[in-house]
Structure 1
Amino acid sequence: MVDSPFEQLSVDALRRRTSLKWRTYPPDVLPLWVAEMDVLPAEPVAAVLRQALELGDTGYPSGARAYAEALAGFARRRWGWDGVDVDSAQIVPDVMLGIVEVLKLVTEPGSSVVVNTPVYPPFFAFTEHADRRVVGAPLGTDGRIDVAALEAAFRDTAPAAFLLANPHNPTGAVHTVDELVAVAALAREYGVRVIVDEIHAPLVLPGATFTPYLSVDGTEDAFVVTSASKAWNLPGVKAALAIAGTAGADDLRRMPEEVSHGPSHFGVLAHTAAYTDGEPWLNALLAALAANRELVGRLLAEHLPTVGYTPPDGTYLAWLDCRPLGFGDDATPGAVADVAGPARAFLDQSRVALSSGHAFGPGGGGHVRLNFATSQAILTEAVTRMGRVLP
């Protein structure tokens, strides 16, 4: 049995990191907020980066086709899907900037873009900064796509695009084939272009099955933007890919050439190595995440029994309904930097940093998002601390 990747680093070692997760808050705070994992890199990734440094290979990025071919091979092995169009795939700096570039290709300034709320906060910020208007289609009470609400948003606002997260962030829902078929049918009926963020696609846990959106009938004019960033913990070495259905390939070919200058050369090398040779490490990670998902449930039942928790199908994010605790939540929706309501209480009183639910938009108030991609000792200490500050 392969050891858990989360049990290889001590808290002291993690606190020597200089990235956002471990440097935003004082050292007495346990950070379970931003989506960084407490792991060492997969050896194939570390090896390719070491070799690049030894060679002084620190120049401008190349290898976009090799990156796309690596993703295509991974999708074939992992999901039985052979639909990555390597010839039209475009390299982009990261997933969110890639989404913005695709939006620029297929929508006009001022047009409406639908998102399922609550949702990953940059969906709001990046879309609005691109001079497009965000329209919310609320998820159901189960944290999944509400097809009726989505149709109402398409019918009433005439959006140009729908931005979908699969798996969904923050609820961790992995959309079923039936759900994706319904999305595709509505998009065709209302003439909406679908852009899918599949960055968490490799992080599907036991009990769920990932379906690539472009494998579904009727998605020929849709787009997917993805990378190895989340599954192999590579947000600091940026590179992503935009891929299209058969009817969207010509749109992608209009991507400005300068967009390809944004990714890091190290990012291209690292992400390519992850998709090509990183599956054994990923398999060990998924086993550890499944164990941590169950541990979160046991810890909450013991220390915070009134908090709502539906174990996620995928990702390493737990979406916790803390409204029964009565902390309130009076921050401005979408204000990512602010910490309010239960997240503020847990930070101030228990010294545990979580993502504040209000930042995820309508439906997020009174919730927190907990990142369980860490050691079981840190998880246990964090939730135990949280339980000591009940109002």
Structure 2
Amino acid sequence: MSDLSIPPLAELRKRRSAKWRTFPDDVLPLPVAEMDFPLAHPVAEALREAVDRSDTGYAAPTGDLADAVSGYARRAWDWAIDPGQVRTVADVGIGMVEILRRVVGPGDRVVVSPPVYEPFAWWIGEVGAQVVEAPLAGGPGAWRLDLDALERAFAGHATAYLLCNPHNPVGLVHRREDLVALAELADRYGVHVLSDEIHAPLVLPGATFVPFLSVSAEARRWGFSFLSASKGWNLAGLKAAAVVTADPAPKRYVDRLSPHSLYRTGHLGVIATVAAFTEGGPWLAGVVAALDRNRTLLGELLAQSLPGARYGRPEAGFLAWIDFRALGWGDDPAARILTAARVALNSGHRYGPTGTGFARLNFGCAPETLTEAITRIAASPLRPPPRAGPRHAGDPPDHPRRATARTPTAPIWSPGARRESSTTYAPERHITGWQPLPTASPAEERASGHRRGEFPARRRGRSQRRTGHRVCGPDAEAL
């Protein structure tokens, strides 16, 4: 078997990770963001050597991971990272939550751009803050940051913005000019930008990844980057990631992380990450080529077998965002597909209300598995959901236009989420016992202009007076 030959399904089902232990064996599991490729040889060899020498203790406080991250960023993206501004954490999610704890307080407003990675809302709820939406503009194949919506959200007293770069689930690689404009807005309104860049190594041909911290001084002043080898080299279970800063102001927040954060990181995760970033380039290039072929194959399969489904080719990663609304399969087509076709996808509504009628599919698999999945879906006895309300003359019997009976779905965003308006969410159950963590001294705050939960006083103008909350998003003026 070559380095990139995917084992047959019978072998894959022997794996014990979430992707292969969640569903029965008659289901093709294409939701969890794990790829089916075998481990890169340098990574497997590094792990094997560690086990052979019984080297399974705590991660050591060395600069190995910081050096590996900075070296990879320089080679891959021409981005100069100071290893002294790289902090090891267990994973990207933990890193983002811990930084959120230090830059926001309970009830603060944190902005996201749905459809977006579902755990963003969980993490915001975990720190007792509110989720505020500034949805992406465009649609399949033409997604962009909606800078007008972002400005409305930031002007509404937002404290932080969670950027997904590249953007999961739509596969958008953000343009440099959009990131520059985002940084300018962050600087104008004093909003911290936490950039999840976990899918960056998997940018596909035709797109160029731009690290947020590389675009301007404003981005560096307000930004944090979160990097990991977990998606690019399939290492999510080994637990190692990095928080990167490029300015003294955000670094002060990182310096307040618990000194025990290193020991919560997986020692084997650090070993695997260093091997991936330093020696895993040829393997990654093969994976990117295979994913490029698979995204093309998926488009062909959908055009042939499900022409009503809309699909925009992702620019990064191995996740496809598919619009099933024209097929009349209800608000949660993934649930219907699982029942009728025995193919597991992610439900689109979990990525925000704009994901209703969509589903996310993982194409980091063998072409044969991808073909089988679409063949099953196309051949399954799916029908539009039952319709409530009166029929209109001329409607065919299965017309979905007035199908007001909603397919039962899980709560949007996170369990316990409470919808306050069309674009603002807050958890019903705030974290109790929240205590402010150590903050900067008054002299530090005056020097940086940063205050927990506030924008810098020197930036506050007439348009930023606290005159009440303003709903953000494309429908804000109509509410």
* Band of TM-score, shorter chain: over 0.9
1:366 to 357, 374, 389: 357
Letter paired with 2:305 = H
Letter paired with 1:314 = A
**Superposed counterparts of 1:156-175, under 5 Å:** 156=156, 158-175=157-174
| Cα deviation code 1:95-141 (max 9, x no counterpart) | 01100111112222221110111110100011101111111111112
- Determine the C-alpha separation between the residues in 2 that align with 1:367 and 1:67: 38
2:83 to 78, 83, 86: 86
Q: Given that residues 69 and 277 in structure 2 are in contact (C-alpha distance below 8 angstroms), is that contact kept between their aligned partners in structure 1?
A: yes
1:132 correspondence with 2:129: yes
Residue number in structure 1 paired with 2:335 = 344
Residue number in structure 1 paired with 2:21 = 23
Q: Given that residues 89 and 252 in structure 1 are in contact (C-alpha distance below 8 angstroms), is that contact kept between their aligned partners in structure 2?
A: no
1:120 correspondence with 2:121: no
Residue number in structure 1 paired with 2:195 = 196
**Superposed counterparts of 1:298-317, under 5 Å:** 298-317=300-319
- State the secondary structure of the residue aligned to 1:202: helix
- State the secondary structure of the residue aligned to 2:238: coil
- State the secondary structure of the residue aligned to 2:320: strand
Q: Given that residues 118 and 361 in structure 1 are in contact (C-alpha distance below 8 angstroms), is that contact kept between their aligned partners in structure 2?
A: yes
| Cα deviation code 1:54-90 (max 9, x no counterpart) | 11101011155210110100011111111x2211321
**Superposed counterparts of 1:1-391, under 5 Å:** 5=4, 7-62=5-60, 64-82=62-80, 84-142=81-139, 143-156=143-156, 158-217=157-216, 218-221=218-221, 222-247=223-248, 248-329=250-331, 341-389=332-380, 390-391=382-383
- The structural deviation recorded for 1:4 is 7.6
Moved over 6 A (4+): none
- Determine the C-alpha separation between the residues in 2 that align with 1:10 and 1:269: 28
Letter paired with 1:235 = A
Letter paired with 2:148 = A
- State the secondary structure of the residue aligned to 1:117: coil
- Choose 1 or 2 for highest CA Rg: 2
Does the C-alpha gap of structure 1 residues 200 and 267 become closer, same or farther in structure 2, counting only changes over 3 Å? same
Number of corresponding residues: 376
- Determine the C-alpha separation between the residues in 2 that align with 1:104 and 1:22: 33
- Determine the C-alpha separation between the residues in 1 that align with 2:271 and 2:167: 27
Q: Given that residues 322 and 368 in structure 1 are in contact (C-alpha distance below 8 angstroms), is that contact kept between their aligned partners in structure 2?
A: yes
- Determine the C-alpha separation between the residues in 2 that align with 1:64 and 1:214: 24
Letter paired with 1:385 = R
Letter paired with 2:158 = P
- Determine the C-alpha separation between the residues in 2 that align with 1:283 and 1:61: 29
Q: Which ranges in structure 2 are unaligned for 5 or more consecutive residues?
A: 384-479
Q: Given that residues 3 and 40 in structure 2 are in contact (C-alpha distance below 8 angstroms), is that contact kept between their aligned partners in structure 1?
A: no
Q: Indicate the RMSD between aligned Cα atoms, in angstroms.
A: 1.3
- The structural deviation recorded for 1:8 is 2.9
- TM-score for the superposition, normalised by structure 2: 0.77
